[in-house]
């Protein structure tokens, strides 16, 4: 049992593209069309974003720090927010996956 659990945890850590999490996301005015901001993810991290309410996808790369409002985990450019369909809401929970 423990061996199976350790293997499952190791597999999840070794394949970050398969792991998805939900992140409260807002948008900001950015010069780069696919540049996103995160306080914790390393620069250069590529993310695949999915809005379950609109069924739309987008790709971004972390190259900025933020958001600086408590409870928000990711900021994307206005262009990406429009692509994902959440300009009018302003803040939405997205499904986020790391890509290579």
CATH code for the domain in which residue 72 is found: 2.40.40.10
**Which pLDDT score is estimated for 13?**
47
Sorting pLDDT into bands at 50, 70 and 90, what band is 18? low
What pTM did the predictor assign?
0.79
pLDDT exceeds 80 at position 10: no
Largest separation between any pair of C-alpha atoms in the chain: 50
| Residue 78 located in a structural domain | yes
Q: How many domains does the chain have?
A: 1
pLDDT exceeds 90 at position 27: yes
Closest CA to 49 of 87, 92, 11, 9: 92
| Residue 2 located in a structural domain | no
CA torsion 89→76→80→13, rounded to 10°? -110
**Which pLDDT score is estimated for 26?**
96
Closest CA to 57 of 19, 90, 86: 86
Query: What pairing do the DSSP bridges indicate for beta strands 20-28 and 91-99?
Result: antiparallel
């Amino acid at each position: 049992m423990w061996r199976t659990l350790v293997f499952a945890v190791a597999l999840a850590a070794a394949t970050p593209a398969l792991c998805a999490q939900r992140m409260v996301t807002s948008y900001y005015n950015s010069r780069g069309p696919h540049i996103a901001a995160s306080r914790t993810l390393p620069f250069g991290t590529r993310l695949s974003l999915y809005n379950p309410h609109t069924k739309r996808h987008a790709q971004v790369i972390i190259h900025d720090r933020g958001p600086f409002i408590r409870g928000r985990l990711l900021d994307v450019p206005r262009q990406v927010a429009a692509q994902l369909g959440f300009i009018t809401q302003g803040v939405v929970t997205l499904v986020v996956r790391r890509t290579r």
